[in-house]
Copies of this chain bind each other. A is one copy, B any other.
Amino acid sequence: MARPLSTEAREKALAAAQEVLSTDGVEGFTVDAVAKRSGVAKTTIYRHFSSGNELLINAIDCMVTPFPTPNTGSLKGDIEEFIQSVLPFIDDHSMQRTMMGVIAAAASDPELHRVHQEMMQLRMTPIKTMLELARGRGELRPDLDLDLALDFVEGPFFFRKMIRNEPMGEKEIRAFAAMIIHGLEGA
């Protein structure tokens, strides 16, 4: 082996892939576009990634970052903090497009489905931890189904921003948190 594959070319390609994903969405994602944008030759891209689809998957994998587990001492504070921390991320329109595209495409492509599952788990884990902590403090009933509670915490927020594209300010965040708390406590 005289010359190893340069990590620089790989990273430039991945970075450009993420950019293309943001601006053109999953359906506009092409190897040609990534090559043009990155300055890395298409042939070189194929040396690093066996197919366009694998490039896509790796790019998505790099975009996914876990959220920190909120820990303010009370469930109400935790939920508000959680929404606050996710909001700027989810408010980005191109990110919305990318996420929805991945979710939709995951229905057809088994590899993307795996990525989708990972994404979900990464996002759900801190929420679940948050709920377990609250239960430990006695803020929630011990027999509460945490799996359902998960949907209850994330669902309204997700639906409003991703599906209905309605705005969400401080007032709405507090209202949501209050409703969620009451719902979980009363269950």
Q: A: which residues have CB within 8 A of B?
A: 25-28, 96-97, 100-101, 103-105, 107-108, 120, 124, 145, 147-148, 151-152, 154-160, 163-164, 166, 172, 175-176, 178-187
Contacts and interface: CB of A to CB of B under 8 A. Distances in A.
Interface SS of chain A: helix, strand, loop or mixed? helix
B103 A100 contact: yes
Contacts of A96: 107
Contact of A183 (B148, B157, B159, B182): B182
Nearest to A106: B100
Given A152-B156, A182-B186, A186-B182, A175 B108 contact: no
Contact of A155 (B120, B157, B185): B157
Contacts of A159: 151, 154-155, 158-159
B100 A164 contact: no
Contacts of A181: 183, 186
Contacts of A186: 178-179, 181-183, 185-186
